[in-house]
Protein backbone atom coordinates (compact mmCIF):
# COMPACT_ATOMS: atom_id res chain seq x y z
CA UNK A 1 0.00 0.00 0.00
CA UNK A 2 1.37 3.45 -0.85
CA UNK A 3 2.58 5.60 2.03
CA UNK A 4 0.08 8.42 1.37
CA UNK A 5 -2.88 5.98 1.59
CA UNK A 6 -1.59 4.64 4.92
CA UNK A 7 -1.33 8.17 6.22
CA UNK A 8 -4.89 8.95 5.07
CA UNK A 9 -6.38 5.97 6.97
CA UNK A 10 -7.34 6.80 10.52
CA UNK A 11 -5.83 4.66 13.21
CA UNK A 12 -8.01 2.29 15.23
CA UNK A 13 -7.69 4.45 18.34
CA UNK A 14 -9.27 7.39 16.52
CA UNK A 15 -12.13 5.32 14.98
CA UNK A 16 -13.49 4.15 18.35
CA UNK A 17 -14.95 7.17 20.06
CA UNK A 18 -15.74 5.32 23.29
CA UNK A 19 -13.13 4.84 25.96
CA UNK A 20 -11.82 1.30 26.31
CA UNK A 21 -13.39 0.85 29.78
CA UNK A 22 -16.91 1.42 28.33
CA UNK A 23 -16.25 -1.12 25.59
CA UNK A 24 -15.09 -3.65 28.17
CA UNK A 25 -18.27 -3.08 30.23
CA UNK A 26 -20.44 -3.59 27.15
CA UNK A 27 -18.60 -6.81 26.35
CA UNK A 28 -19.06 -8.04 29.92
CA UNK A 29 -22.78 -7.23 29.76
CA UNK A 30 -23.17 -9.09 26.47
CA UNK A 31 -21.41 -12.14 27.91
CA UNK A 32 -23.61 -12.01 31.02
CA UNK A 33 -26.80 -11.77 28.94
CA UNK A 34 -25.62 -14.60 26.68
CA UNK A 35 -24.97 -16.72 29.76
CA UNK A 36 -28.51 -16.02 31.02
CA UNK A 37 -29.89 -17.01 27.63
CA UNK A 38 -27.97 -20.26 27.74
CA UNK A 39 -29.29 -20.97 31.24
CA UNK A 40 -32.86 -20.44 30.01
CA UNK A 41 -32.21 -22.68 27.03
CA UNK A 42 -30.79 -25.35 29.36
CA UNK A 43 -33.98 -25.09 31.48
CA UNK A 44 -36.21 -25.70 28.45
CA UNK A 45 -34.05 -28.60 27.27
CA UNK A 46 -34.23 -30.14 30.75
CA UNK A 47 -38.03 -29.87 30.61
CA UNK A 48 -38.15 -31.67 27.26
CA UNK A 49 -35.85 -34.41 28.49
CA UNK A 50 -37.90 -34.76 31.68
CA UNK A 51 -41.10 -35.09 29.62
CA UNK A 52 -39.45 -37.69 27.39
CA UNK A 53 -38.58 -39.75 30.47
CA UNK A 54 -42.17 -39.54 31.77
CA UNK A 55 -44.34 -40.30 28.70
CA UNK A 56 -47.37 -41.35 30.77
CA UNK A 57 -47.57 -37.92 32.37
CA UNK A 58 -47.49 -36.26 28.92
CA UNK A 59 -50.30 -38.50 27.70
CA UNK A 60 -52.37 -37.58 30.76
CA UNK A 61 -51.83 -33.87 30.07
CA UNK A 62 -52.91 -34.31 26.43
CA UNK A 63 -55.98 -36.27 27.52
CA UNK A 64 -56.94 -33.59 30.04
CA UNK A 65 -56.62 -30.87 27.38
CA UNK A 66 -58.72 -32.93 24.97
CA UNK A 67 -61.38 -33.55 27.64
CA UNK A 68 -61.39 -29.87 28.54
CA UNK A 69 -62.00 -28.97 24.91
CA UNK A 70 -64.85 -31.50 24.70
CA UNK A 71 -66.47 -30.17 27.85
CA UNK A 72 -66.18 -26.56 26.68
CA UNK A 73 -67.75 -27.57 23.36
CA UNK A 74 -70.63 -29.28 25.17
CA UNK A 75 -71.21 -26.20 27.33
CA UNK A 76 -71.05 -23.93 24.28
CA UNK A 77 -73.55 -26.00 22.34
CA UNK A 78 -75.95 -25.88 25.29
CA UNK A 79 -75.64 -22.10 25.44
CA UNK A 80 -76.22 -21.84 21.67
CA UNK A 81 -79.29 -24.11 21.85
CA UNK A 82 -80.80 -22.07 24.70
CA UNK A 83 -80.10 -18.81 22.83
CA UNK A 84 -81.74 -20.11 19.68
CA UNK A 85 -84.78 -21.33 21.65
CA UNK A 86 -85.20 -17.78 22.91
CA UNK A 87 -85.09 -16.61 19.28
CA UNK A 88 -82.07 -14.35 19.80
CA UNK A 89 -79.28 -13.73 17.35
CA UNK A 90 -75.69 -13.92 18.55
CA UNK A 91 -75.36 -10.16 18.35
CA UNK A 92 -78.65 -9.50 20.16
CA UNK A 93 -77.79 -11.97 22.90
CA UNK A 94 -74.28 -10.54 23.26
CA UNK A 95 -75.74 -7.05 23.68
CA UNK A 96 -78.21 -8.38 26.23
CA UNK A 97 -75.37 -9.94 28.25
CA UNK A 98 -72.94 -7.09 27.76
CA UNK A 99 -70.40 -9.27 25.96
CA UNK A 100 -68.68 -8.97 22.60
CA UNK A 101 -70.33 -10.96 19.80
CA UNK A 102 -67.08 -12.60 18.71
CA UNK A 103 -66.31 -13.62 22.29
CA UNK A 104 -69.77 -15.19 22.62
CA UNK A 105 -69.21 -17.02 19.32
CA UNK A 106 -65.95 -18.41 20.71
CA UNK A 107 -67.75 -19.58 23.85
CA UNK A 108 -70.43 -21.30 21.76
CA UNK A 109 -67.78 -23.06 19.64
CA UNK A 110 -65.85 -24.13 22.73
CA UNK A 111 -62.80 -22.06 21.79
CA UNK A 112 -62.96 -19.83 24.88
CA UNK A 113 -62.30 -20.90 28.44
CA UNK A 114 -64.91 -18.75 30.13
CA UNK A 115 -64.75 -17.65 33.74
CA UNK A 116 -67.42 -18.20 36.36
CA UNK A 117 -68.40 -14.53 36.16
CA UNK A 118 -68.97 -14.72 32.40
CA UNK A 119 -70.94 -17.93 32.85
CA UNK A 120 -73.14 -16.15 35.43
CA UNK A 121 -73.68 -13.27 32.99
CA UNK A 122 -74.64 -15.67 30.18
CA UNK A 123 -77.06 -17.54 32.47
CA UNK A 124 -78.66 -14.23 33.48
CA UNK A 125 -79.12 -13.43 29.79
CA UNK A 126 -80.71 -16.86 29.27
CA UNK A 127 -82.89 -16.40 32.39
CA UNK A 128 -81.82 -19.76 33.80
CA UNK A 129 -79.59 -20.96 36.60
CA UNK A 130 -76.06 -22.25 36.15
CA UNK A 131 -76.97 -25.78 37.23
CA UNK A 132 -79.30 -26.18 34.24
CA UNK A 133 -76.57 -25.23 31.78
CA UNK A 134 -73.73 -27.19 33.40
CA UNK A 135 -75.60 -30.39 34.30
CA UNK A 136 -73.33 -33.44 33.77
CA UNK A 137 -70.33 -31.28 32.85
CA UNK A 138 -67.71 -32.60 33.28
CA UNK A 139 -68.87 -36.09 32.47
CA UNK A 140 -66.66 -38.68 34.10
CA UNK A 141 -65.32 -41.04 31.44
CA UNK A 142 -64.31 -44.42 32.79
Q: How far apart are CA 87 and CA 5, in angstroms?
A: 87
Q: Which is more confident, 65 or 119?
A: 119
Q: Which is more confident, 107 or 11?
A: 107
71-134 fold: 434 Repressor (Amino-terminal Domain) (1.10.260)
Residue 11: DSSP 8-state: P
Q: What is the pLDDT of residues 7-24, one digit of tens each?
A: 555 554 444 555 556 566
Q: What is the pLDDT of residues 71-93, one digit of tens each?
A: 899 999 999 999 999 999 999 99
Q: What are the structural domain ranges in the chain? A: 18-52, 71-134
Amino acid sequence: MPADVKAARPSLAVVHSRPISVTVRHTQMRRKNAKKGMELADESVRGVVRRAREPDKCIQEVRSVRLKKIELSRLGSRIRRARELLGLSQEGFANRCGLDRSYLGGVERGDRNLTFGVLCTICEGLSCDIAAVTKDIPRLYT
